[in-house]
């Protein structure tokens, strides 16, 4: 049996005000090619199907199209909800979908969803655990000590009728960490993941006995603890911090019990998301302009700020997302103790100094008057 593991589709996402829907459609098409070429039997979608709990119309349309394609290819499809999904909305139509071999577990209802499949080596049990918090699980087992995410997942699994003498696959959308290793965050997971504490982490030993654990939640593709517990990662780069991380999807082949093979298939986006750094003149020299359709984050090292830098860059790279500076001024700013700098100074003095620091010249009277007026309106000064 051959399985494609994907996660964190975030359909309908915008990055720096750029709508990613075309890029998402492109990458889903690439997945369909992989499914055809590799003769995939089942697709596991490990949560964060949508970017938000109320998905945009085009995001719903795109998922509808993707699921129709999968159903048309007779691919068995399994979906769990992530923390970005609304369980009620994702659950819509799930009974009807079952007829087309699309299995959705969007909300934990006290029973871990199980689908029994089989191949030439016997039975394969596919278990679907939607994103859960401790309180949701506690609700079903009020007498048990369920305080952390780890407690919650252990309780869910303890109440499932697992037989580890057979082959078992689990899909989950949680923060899972090995004992010693660090999890590499992609950067676009959202604040809830970025601020995650150790209390919310789930130990990999929770999953001892499973032949493969298909995880979603972390956007950097990686294994956790062992090769067969892994995050597929998001399908696309959704932040500057992901610029240097190539995206891939695991294709997992199951033989007899104990025989699992993982192959990572690299994804090639329609437009890459790249970070370029240097002086404006050099970055925009004709020989240095490559893939002008790409999403570009620019760090300018020019000492003087460039007027209308964004407009200029968008003439060369129309999908320029952000421009920042790294020069003597910005480095100086990093070492500045704000409290000390502002001590005993009036608002106008602070603004004048800041202006001089940023632009290397004095603020004009007219500009200073505007800033003072703004401060009065904002209630900062009298
Ligand atoms: Mn996500």
pLDDT, tens digit (0-9, with 9 covering 90-100), for 103-151: 999 999 999 999 999 999 999 999 999 999 999 999 999 999 999 899 9
Tokens 């596919």, residue located: 126
Of the CA atoms within 13 Å of residue 310, those in its CB half-sphere come to 5
pLDDT at 101 over 80: yes
Residue 185, token pair as written in the block: 């965050």
Average pLDDT over residues 26-54: 96
* Count of other CB atoms within 10 angstroms of residue 142: 7
- Tell me the CA–centroid distance for residue 156 and ligand 1, in Å: 22
Q: Which residues of 172-202 are buried (b: 16+ CB within 10 A; e: fewer)?
A: bbbbbbbeeeebebbbbbeeebeebeeebbb
Per-residue confidence band for 180, with pLDDT thresholds at 50, 70 and 90: low
What pLDDT is stored for residue 189 in this prediction?
83
Distance 168 CA to ligand 1 centre (A): 24
Ligand 1 geometric centre to CA of 171 (Å): 14
Mean pLDDT of 252-258: 96
Distances (CA, A) of 12 to 9, 53, 158, 293: 9, 11, 36, 20
Select the CATH number that applies to the domain covering 2-266 from these four: 3.60.21.10, 3.40.605.10, 1.10.3720.10, 3.40.50.1980. 3.60.21.10
Are 25 and 69 contacting, i.e. CB atoms less than 8 angstroms apart?
Answer: no
Compute, in angstroms, the gap from residue 7 CA to the centroid of ligand 1. Answer: 8
Mean pLDDT of 166-189: 85
Distance 81 CA to ligand 1 centre (A): 10
Which whole number is the average pLDDT over 317-330?
Answer: 92
Mean predicted confidence (pLDDT) in 241-249: 93
The answer to whether residue 88 scores a pLDDT higher than 80 is no
Distance 72 CA to ligand 1 centre (A): 27
| 46 CA → ligand 1 middle, Å | 9
Ligand 1 centroid to 179 CA: how many Å?
23
CA of 353 to the centre of ligand 1 (A): 42
Mean pLDDT of 8-25: 96
CATH 3.60.21.10, the chain: domain bounds: 2-266
Read off the tokens for 106: 């969007």
Ligand 1 geometric centre to CA of 186 (Å): 10
User: Ligand 1 mean position to 189 CA, how many Å?
Assistant: 5
pLDDT at 3: 98
CA of 376 to the centre of ligand 1 (A): 42
Ligand 1 center from residue 36 Cα (angstroms): 26
What's the 196 CA to ligand 1 centre distance in angstroms?
14
3-state secondary structure of 104: strand
Look up residue 256 and give its two tokens.
């007899």
Structure tokens at 76: 């068995």
| CA–CA dist 202, 152 (Å, integer) | 9
Q: What mean pLDDT, rounded, does the chain reach? A: 91
Q: What's the CA-to-centroid distance between 284 and ligand 1, angstroms?
A: 34
* Cα 338 to ligand 1 centroid, rounded to whole Å: 35
- Using the mean position of ligand 1's atoms as its centre, give its distance from the Cα of residue 233 in Å: 8
Cα of 154 from ligand 1 centre, angstroms: 22
- Tell me the CA–centroid distance for residue 84 and ligand 1, in Å: 7
Which stretch of 8-17, 84-93, 169-178 has the lowest confidence by average pLDDT? 84-93
Residue 234 CA to ligand 1 center (angstroms) comes to: 7
Measured distance between the N- and C-terminal CA atoms of the chain, rounded to whole angstroms? 72
Distance from residue 216's CA to the centre of ligand 1 (Å) = 7
CA distances from 350 to 121, 146, 328, 368, 376 (A): 74, 53, 20, 11, 15
What distance in angstroms lies between residue 8's CA and the mean position of ligand 1's atoms? Answer: 4
Q: What is the CA(292)–ligand 1 centre distance, in A?
A: 28
pLDDT score, position 229? 96
Looking at residue 344, its pLDDT comes to 86
Please say if the pLDDT value at position 197 is more than 70: no
Q: Is the pLDDT of residue 250 over 90?
A: yes
Distance from Cα 377 to the centre of ligand 1, integer Å = 40
Strand partners, 44: 5, 78
DSSP labels for 114-160?
EEEEEETTEEEEEEEE----HHHHHTT-TTS---SHHHHHHHHHHTS
What pLDDT, on a 0 to 100 scale, did the predictor assign at position 199?
Answer: 59
The rounded Å distance from CA 83 to ligand 1 centre is 7
Q: What residues pair up with 298 in beta bridges, in sequence order?
A: 276, 323
Q: How far is the CA of 70 from the centre of ligand 1 (A)?
A: 22
**CA of residue 343 to ligand 1 center, whole Å:** 43
Gap from CA of 10 to ligand 1 centroid (Å): 7
CA distance 304 to 262: 50
Place 296 in a pLDDT band, splitting at 50, 70 and 90. Answer: very high
Locate 243 and state its tokens. 């610029």
Provide the pLDDT for residue 192.
66
């Amino acid at each position: 049996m051959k399985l494609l593991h994907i996660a964190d589709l975030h359909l309908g996402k915008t990055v720096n005000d750029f709508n990613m829907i075309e890029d998402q459609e492109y990458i889903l098409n690439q997945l369909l090619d992989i499914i055809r070429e590799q003769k995939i039997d089942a697709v596991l979608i490990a949560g964060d199907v949508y970017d938000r709990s109320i998905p945009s119309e085009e995001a719903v349309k795109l998922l509808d199209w993707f699921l129709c394609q999968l159903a048309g290819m007779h691919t068995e499809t399994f979906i769990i909800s992530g923390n970005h999904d609304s369980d009620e909305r994702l659950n819509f139509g799930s009974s009807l979908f079952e007829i087309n071999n699309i299995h959705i577990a969007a909300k934990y209802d006290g029973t871990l969803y199980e689908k029994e499949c089989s191949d030439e080596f016997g039975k394969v049990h596919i278990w679907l655990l939607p994103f859960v918090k401790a309180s949701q699980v506690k609700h079903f087992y009020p007498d048990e000590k369920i305080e952390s995410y780890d407690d919650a997942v252990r309780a869910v699994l303890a109440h499932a009728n697992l037989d580890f003498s057979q082959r078992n696959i689990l899909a989950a959308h949680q923060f899972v960490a090995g004992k010693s290793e660090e999890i590499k965050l992609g950067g676009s997971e959202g604040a809830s993941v970025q601020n995650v504490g150790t209390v919310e982490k789930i130990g990999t030993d929770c999953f001892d006995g499973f032949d493969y654990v298909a995880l979603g939640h972390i956007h950097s593709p990686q294994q956790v603890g062992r090769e067969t517990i892994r995050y597929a990662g998001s399908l696309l780069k959704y932040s500057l911090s992901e610029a240097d991380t190539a995206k891939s999807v695991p294709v997992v082949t199951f033989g007899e019990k104990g025989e699992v093979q993982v192959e990572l298939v690299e994804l090639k986006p329609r437009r890459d998301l790249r970070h370029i750094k240097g002086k404006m003149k050099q970055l925009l020299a004709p020989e240095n302009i490559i893939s002008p359709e790409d999403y570009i984050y620019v760090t300018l090292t020019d000492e003087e700020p460039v007027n209308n830098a964004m407009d200029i860059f968008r003439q060369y790279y129309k999908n320029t997302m952000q421009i920042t500076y790294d020069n003597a001024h910005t480095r100086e700013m990093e070492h500045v103790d704000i409290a000390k700098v502002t001590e005993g100074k009036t608002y106008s003095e602070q603004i004048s100094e800041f202006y001089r620091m940023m632009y290397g010249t004095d603020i004009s009277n007219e500009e200073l008057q505007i800033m003072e007026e703004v401060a009065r309106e904002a209630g900062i000064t009298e």
